[in-house]
Amino acid sequence: MTVETLERKFKSFDGTEIFYRKDIPKTIRAIVVIVHGLCEHLGRYDYVTQKFNDKGLGVYRFDNRGHGKSGGERGYVENFQNFFDDADKAVDLVLAEHEDLPVFMLGHSMGGFIAAGYGMKYPEKLRGQILSGPALLEIEALVKDIKRDNYFEKYPREKAPNALSNLICRDPEVVKAYDEDPLVLKETNLKLLGEAFVKGPIWLSENVNKYEYPCLILHGEDDKIVPSESSKWLYENAPSKDKSIKIYKDCYHEILNEKEEKDKVIDDIITWIEDRI
């Protein structure tokens, strides 16, 4: 299949340059905007993009600020809302270039947090959302030390190592590639962790009543980074009239990279999208 590929940057609301890539098949039925997770980058979604393209789904993906090839201080965000607003600039770009096509958003992990927050802040712009292992609740093991006495606000640029690679997936080749990837952040600032995983979940809980997008919520049953309760919380509390949840047995955090299950997960996403085109 012929696929048009383009890599560029767009300026976000505050002038930060956001690196993005689009992969558009010749025959196209819808667009999916992919939002990646903490410390990673858009290049880790090549396989998913190829599978989507094969089914006539165009893909736009971008590096979150402070990640990958985007601008911004590495591993830092001043306010978690900035992530939502960057995503909105990406969606506006897609809508301007494909005004006649339905647009969906797929967010993984912190990208799931961004997608959910986007859904609450920016209704009626998308046809629907897919959330993979979304980090929507406070993860006590990750933030218990930094939230005490607002530590992350007092020492925003103190570093936290990225030490969870062995828990992302059961496939050792995926873990090895992640560890060796020069674009994967090896550390983040405490401010980013505090914004996304302390303040962010509070905001989500206060605004979940505004979430009305059709949504497919996906999680690995054995996710050791973001517990599946996070996905169940959104499913149980979002007022969306079209919502589904799937928990994949034995899978870790990156269900889109699990060796045995990834094709099933991707097929489930494609089927869900096709039913809403």
Q: Is 223 a catalytic residue?
A: yes
Question: Exposed, middle or buried by CB within 10 Å (0-12, 13-18, 19+), for 264?
Answer: middle
DSSP string, 10-67: EE-TTS-EEEEEEEEESS-SEEEEEE--TT--GGGGHHHHHHHHHTTEEEEEEPPTTS
Residue 105's nearest CA partner among 122, 126, 88, 84 is: 126
Q: Is 109 a catalytic residue?
A: yes
Decide if pLDDT at 1 tops 80.
no
Catalytic residue among 36, 108, 219, 253: 253
Rounded to an integer, the average pLDDT of 44-57 is 98
CATH topology of domain 3-274: Rossmann fold (3.40.50)
Q: Is 36 a catalytic residue?
A: no
C-alpha 41/C-alpha 184 separation (Å) is 7
Rounded to an integer, the average pLDDT of 248-270 is 98
Q: What is the pLDDT of residues 59-103, one digit of tens each?
A: 999 999 999 999 999 999 999 999 999 999 999 999 999 999 999
Predicted local confidence at residue 143, as pLDDT: 85
Instruction: With H, G, I as helix, E, B as strand and everything else as coil, classify residue 72.
Output: coil
C-alpha 114/C-alpha 71 separation (Å) is 18
Residue 137's nearest CA partner among 168, 161, 113, 108 is: 113
Rounded to an integer, the average pLDDT of 107-115 is 98
Catalytic residue among 23, 85, 223, 268: 223
Please state, rounded to an integer, the average pLDDT across all residues of the chain: 97
Q: What is the pLDDT of residues 228-242, one digit of tens each?
A: 999 999 999 999 999
Rounded to an integer, the average pLDDT of 130-152 is 90
Locus of tokens 């607003």: 85
Provide the phi-psi class of 150: left if phi over 0, else alpha when psi is between -120 and 50, else beta.
left
Cβ proximity of 86 and 44 under 8 Å: no
Decide if pLDDT at 141 tops 80.
no
Task: Quote the percentage of the chain above a pLDDT of 70.
Answer: 100
Task: Quote the percentage of the chain above a pLDDT of 90.
Answer: 95
- Full 3-state SS string of 111-159: HHHHHHHHHHHCCCCCCEEEEECCCCCCCHHHHHHHHHHHHHHHCCCCE
Predicted local confidence at residue 264, as pLDDT: 98
Catalytic residue among 109, 132, 228, 230: 109
Predicted local confidence at residue 139, as pLDDT: 82
Please report, for the chain, the start and end positions of each structural domain, with discontinuous segments joined by +. 3-274
CA dihedral (249, 250, 255, 259) positive or negative: negative
